[in-house]
Amino acid sequence: MNSHEIDYQIFGEEMQYVELELDPKEAVIAEAGNFMMMENGIKMNTIFGDGSSQHEGFLGKVLGAGKRLLTGESLFMTIFSNEVQGKKKVSFASPYPGKIIPLDLTQYGGKFICQKDAFLCAAKGVSIGIEFSRKLGRGFFGGEGFIMQKIEGDGMAFVHAGGTMARKELQAGEKLNVDTGCIIGFTKDINYDIEFVGGIKNSLFGGEGLFFATLTGPGIVYVQSLPFSRLANRVWQAAPQGWGKDKGEGSILGGLGDVISGDRRF
């Protein structure tokens, strides 16, 4: 195996955190801001990219970090290493209410595709890259643009879902229609596309946006009940007038953008 083997335990129900047990010289990588606590003896370092290209020299590090810029993430990630004898533990917390999903990449063909802000942490050796969409419809109306995140390797990775998580295993040719914001991720053989809702009443008054995602098997799909964008939108709508709201929020273009994304409720 190229990735470090780590043991883990997930605690909590609605606000979960994952505790990783590291043997001597084992390490994990994590997004900035997800760290919760660690035992004495674990060393924390900031690195370019995900650390999977460290052996490729400076150019490899720069390319790895550049990929992260395209997904809207920081150039840097944090690596936590056990530098002492004996097992040590480090914990990472979910950023908002939901579930932490453990992914053994060896069971998914070594690759899992997810939305850009879903990744939480992973064993050192797992690569965090980008997945480009080759379809214009998916790029413009898929909610995630042309770029999604891909997690590759043979170790454990952890992603976060908002609200309650649903796991759907699709057979060959079986199709699932999902709100674009509710997708957590899917396995590499899933065909992901965008479909027009159809119907004037549905489009103008349905309140669910003009498009939904279609995911066709074979493969596994993870769906979340509460995307962060939906949660943030409801909080924004409930905020008193004048609390930093954009003066142009009622403009025609603003309203049209809300309809397309599914954020406007009639």
pLDDT digits 0-9 by tens, 100-123: 999 999 999 999 999 878 899 999
Domains of the chain, by residue range, sit at 7-236
Assign 149 a pLDDT band (cuts: 50, 70, 90): confident
The pLDDT of residue 259 is above 80? no
pLDDT, greater one: 266 or 178: 178
Q: Quote the pLDDT of residue 206.
A: 47
pLDDT digits 0-9 by tens, 42-85: 999 987 665 555 555 555 555 555 555 555 555 678 999 999 99
Total Cβ atoms within 10 A of residue 3: 22
pLDDT digits 0-9 by tens, 228-243: 777 676 677 777 765 6
Find the mean pLDDT for residues 83-104. 92
Q: Which of 141-150, 178-187, 214-223, 254-263 shows the lowest mean pLDDT across its residues?
A: 254-263
pTM for this one?
0.75
170 token code pair: 């699709």
When mean pLDDT is compared over 167-171, 177-181, 254-258, the highest value belongs to 167-171
Task: Tell me how far apart the alpha carbons of residues 94 and 98 are, in angstroms, rounded to a whole number.
Answer: 7
CA 170 vs. chain centroid, Å, equals 20
pLDDT digits 0-9 by tens, 165-176: 999 999 999 999
Distances (CA, A) of 186 to 67, 149, 176: 20, 11, 12
CATH number of 7-236: 3.60.160.10
Task: Tell me how far apart the alpha carbons of residues 157 and 101 are, in angstroms, rounded to a whole number.
Answer: 8
Q: Name the percent of the chain lying above pLDDT 90.
A: 39
The pLDDT of residue 187 is above 70? yes
Total Cβ atoms within 10 A of residue 81: 20
The pLDDT of residue 263 is above 70? no
Find the mean pLDDT for residues 251-264. 46
Q: Which residues pair with residue 30 across a beta bridge?
A: 78, 121
CB 158 within 8 A of CB 90: no
